[in-house]
Structure formats: structure tokens, C-alpha cells
Amino acid sequence: MTMVQDRPPGQIIETDVVIIGAGPVALFAVFELGLLDIRAHLIDILDKPGGQCAELYPEKPIYDIPGLPVVTGQELTDRLMEQIKPFDPTFHLNERVDEISKHDDGRFLLKTDVGTCFLTKVVVIGAGGGSFTPKRPPIDGIEAYEGTSVHYSVRRMEVFRDKNILIVGGGDSALDWTLSLQPLSKSLTLLHRRDDFRAAPHSVEKMREMVAAGDMRLMIGQLSCLHGNDGLLESVTVKTKEGEERLPVDTLLPFFGLTMKLGPIADWGLNLEENLIPVDTEKFETSEPRIFAVGDINVYPGKLKLILSGFHEAALMAQKAHKYIYPDKKLLFQYTTSSSSLQKKLGVR
Amino acid sequence: MAKITFIQPDGSKQVVEATVGQTVMEAAKLENVPGIEAECGGACACATCHVYIAEGWREKTGAPSEMEEDMLDFAFDVRTESRLCCQIKVTEELDGLIVQVPAKQF
């Protein structure tokens, strides 16, 4: 497996297929395409492969994967990663595909949010419920402060120097950023709804030491209101057991986990039905030829959002993708149990 | 069977017939109760089926487990009567249960 970290900007990656998403169905698509000699690039917004399985329920058992009576989300991801190893897919993680346009020669030009460009013959959308995005606290008017005073992630720490920061949450993101940003902040308050933290115990301990030393403040309560002007935050109202408190802060970092949003897919000119992509059930192709959709993101009569259905969809998609990528090659249907050429691709000795 | 009343933030009420063994979330989803989103499908992994248990019912529904309590961190305006309704199994005892849907899920 190849993990791409940094690449000089402006370079275009030319490939046969780009898979958008890296959940279980996208991973299995690598396998089915690989058997047909098609190598894939995968792009995913998360920092790891596995999609919802790895992000939402890594520890939770799944009982309806054929042949695996019980498997956790992470185990399934790990097994799929092992299964597709012979096909050496390239992963582009922490990236979101923002644009798809048609190139003059019929191929598609894809552009990600960090500027990576792909020129590909076939696109496979395996994006599940859409891209994971940070949850926005449902507080009136919060949008006005986003990007100026309200941030859902930290890209550059310098931005937070000499700020009066309020971090909200009790998980690892909240605690990690509390520890990292406190030294350069003017003041830092961590707000959580209870005096119990999901975050790693050693970071909680460190945070408590900083509180004891008077370097920061820990508040138990919940955010209820933002106050400020022109996108600049001046203070927030926090509800605590004792009542309400107005806290003067100019920077707010809420960490309430991730949610799935369809995101830019809605702007790609594909037919959509209630945020899902309609496909046929022979090839799982969208309204745009050469763009396929597999897994939870597609819809057709009788669709079931099951991982096993997505696996089937990926297999049929690969057959048609082969026709686009190798128009002159005849495809012979083969079994991995008996075909020596398939076994060779899989590295069987 | 158990009758469960969902009260919306505007005060409107919807009574749902739930089957014993279902979760309160499943009963709500089957009748399209607004505000019960259940994005993760009942895996206790998203906190979008957050409800407030009405006075007098909290003993019967019980308290959230540690896992549910952790997940409630991702809900908004959490109160002592907060539960994720995918984690409440319907029993005969819960016939008549009243829950309030919060003004906003995340």
C-alpha cells in the first residue's frame, strides 16, 4: 500500500480509476478492479482507511458479513486491507474531492481540497454517507463566526497565539489541543458538560495539573450563546449548575465529533434522489457514463444499505469499468479458486 | 405493545405503538417521528436520537451506560433526563412512556 503525504503542487496524477472514499466497499472495489488488472487511487477525507467502520464503530461487532460470524469494524477494515495488498492501491488521505470536470479526451479531471489533481478514465464513488465533517453546535448565529473566531480544526497553531481561547469537548481532540494551545494562548478555558473525560487518561491528568498550577481553567457546563460583532467573538454564555456565566473569549474551538454530509458531490451534475446517487443494477453506473457509485451512497429499487450489497455492486462495477479501460480486451470470467492467472495476481504460490 | 408519546419542542404530541424488544429509536423511526435522526442506525455511535425522559419515567428507563454517557458528550443541551433512545429497549413496563424531543439534534 502506498500512502501519499506530500507532493509538489500542480502535478497531475494520471490513472485508470479513482475511487472516492475508502470504506469497506471502496476497499473491496480495489480487489475486484485489481483482479481485472486495474490499479486504483483512493481519496478519503479521514486520516485512515475504513470509513464509518473505522471512524464510527471500530470496536463494534458486525454479524452479517458472509463467512465472518462476528467481526468488528476495525477487524473488517484490517482484513480488507490485507486482501487488497497485492493490488498496491495508492491512498490519498485527509483529502476531499471538491470538483469533477470532463477533460477534452473524455477522461475526468478531479481536484481535491488541497489541490491534488487526477486525470482518470473511470470514477467510482464509494463515499458512504458523504464526507465526515466536524459537527457544528446548533447555536444561533454560529455560522457568522466560522473561520474568524470559531474553528473546528487547527491547521496552523500560530493563528491562536495570544488569544483568549475556549475549547469545548471531552475527547482526545479537545484535550490534545488544550495541551498544545495553552502555552501560546493569552488565556485558555476548557469547557465540558461533565467532570469525566473520554480522552486518554494521561492527557486528562496533564490538563488537571495545568488547572492546579493556575495556567488554565476547567469549566463544567454547556455552551448556550455567542456574543460578538462582524464575525468577531467577544464573549460566550455558559450554562453551569450554578447558573449562567458570561465568559470573555475571542476564539472558540468546539470538538463535538464528526457527522456525515454529502458535501461537494451535490455539485457534480449527477442525478440525485434525496442525497443518494441513482444507479442501474447491472453496472452500478450513474447518470454520467464512466462514473459509478457503489455502497451506501447509491440507490436503486430494492437497495439495502448493507456492506455485503456493496461488495456485490463493486464486483459488477468492475466488469463494466474493464470495458472502458481496456475496450479491446475480451474479459474471460474466472474463479480465484481455479484460475492460475488470478492466483498469480494475488501472489498465491 | 407499549404506547410511547413523543413531544416536539412546539408542544405537539405523537403517540407511537412500539413492540416489546424494539428500541425506542426504532419505534420512532418506523413512524417518522421528526427530530429522531439516528444517523448511525442504532450503534450508539452518533448521538442524533437524543431525547429527554419525562418526569416519573426515569426510573423505568434507567440511567445511561458508560458508553452512552460518553456518546452523550456529542449531544447538545444535555440534561440529567437525557438519553439516547436507541439504547432504550421497549418493555411492557414502558407502556405510556413520555419523551421530549430536543429543539435541535446536532
ipTM: 0.86
What pLDDT sits at residue A315?
A: 98
Contact state of B73 with A260 under an 8 Å Cβ cutoff: no
CA distance A140 to A138: 7
The grid cell for A65 is: 458479513
Contact state of A135 with B39 under an 8 Å Cβ cutoff: no
Q: What is the mean pLDDT of chain B?
A: 93
CB B28 within 8 Å of CB B19? no
CATH architecture classification, A2-133+259-345: 3-Layer(bba) Sandwich (3.50)
Q: What is the mean pLDDT of chain A?
A: 94
Using a pLDDT cut of 70, give the percent of chain A over it. Answer: 97
From A135, which residue of chain B is nearest by alpha-carbon distance?
A: B106
Backbone angles phi, psi at A263, to 5 degrees: 70, -145
Q: Residue A279's pLDDT band (boundaries 50, 70, 90)? A: very high
Q: Is residue B2 scored above 90 in pLDDT?
A: yes
What pLDDT sits at residue A218?
A: 98
Min Cα separation B95/chain A (Å): 30
What pLDDT sits at residue A154?
A: 87
**Measured CA angle at A295 (ends A291, A298), to 5 deg:** 60
CA distance A167 to A177: 8
**CA dihedral sign of residues A135, A138, A139, A141:** positive
Query: Which chain A residues are closer than 8 Å to B105 by Cβ?
Result: 138
Question: Stretch A50-72: mean pLDDT, rounded?
Answer: 92
Is pLDDT larger for residue B46 or for residue A235?
Answer: A235
Strand, helix or coil at A254? strand
Q: Is residue A8 scored above 70 in pLDDT?
A: no
Q: Residue A309's pLDDT band (boundaries 50, 70, 90)? A: very high
CA B97 to chain centroid, in Å, comes to: 10
Q: Residue B40's pLDDT band (boundaries 50, 70, 90)? A: confident
CATH superfamily, domain at A136-256: FAD/NAD(P)-binding domain (3.50.50.60)
Q: Is residue A4 scored above 70 in pLDDT?
A: no
Domain B2-100 fold = Ubiquitin-like (UB roll) (3.10.20)
Q: Is residue A265 scored above 80 in pLDDT?
A: yes
From A239, which residue of chain B is nearest by alpha-carbon distance?
A: B77
Q: Is residue A260 scored above 90 in pLDDT?
A: no
CA B80 to chain centroid, in Å, comes to: 14
Question: Stretch A38-54: mean pLDDT, rounded?
Answer: 95
Question: Stretch A91-115: mean pLDDT, rounded?
Answer: 94
What pLDDT sits at residue A55?
A: 87
Q: Residue A3's pLDDT band (boundaries 50, 70, 90)? A: low
Query: Which chain B residues are closer than 8 Å to A131 by Cβ?
Result: none
Contact state of B78 with A57 under an 8 Å Cβ cutoff: no
Strand, helix or coil at A73? helix
Angle between the A24-35 and A73-83 helix axes, to the nearest 10 degrees? 20
Domain boundaries, chain B: 2-100
Is pLDDT larger for residue A1 or for residue A314?
Answer: A314
DSSP state of A345: H
Min Cα separation A257/chain B (Å): 6
Contact state of A256 with B74 under an 8 Å Cβ cutoff: yes
Query: Which chain B residues are closer than 8 Å to A140 by Cβ?
Result: none
pLDDT tens for residues A137-196?
A: 989 999 999 999 999 988 789 999 999 999 999 999 999 999 999 999 999 999 999 999
Strands A243-247 and A232-240, how do they pair?
Answer: antiparallel
Is pLDDT larger for residue A82 or for residue B40?
Answer: A82
Q: Residue A2's pLDDT band (boundaries 50, 70, 90)? A: low
Backbone angles phi, psi at B41, to 5 degrees: 80, 20
What pLDDT sits at residue A7?
A: 56
Annotate A277-295 with DSSP letters as a single string.
EE--TTT-B-SSTTEEE-G
Angle between the A172-181 and A201-212 helix axes, to the nearest 10 degrees? 40
pLDDT tens for residues A210-245?
A: 999 999 999 999 999 999 999 999 999 999 999 999
Using a pLDDT cut of 90, give the percent of chain A over it. Answer: 86
Q: Residue A6's pLDDT band (boundaries 50, 70, 90)? A: low
Q: Where in chain A is the domain with CATH 3.50.50.60?
A: 2-133+259-345, 136-256
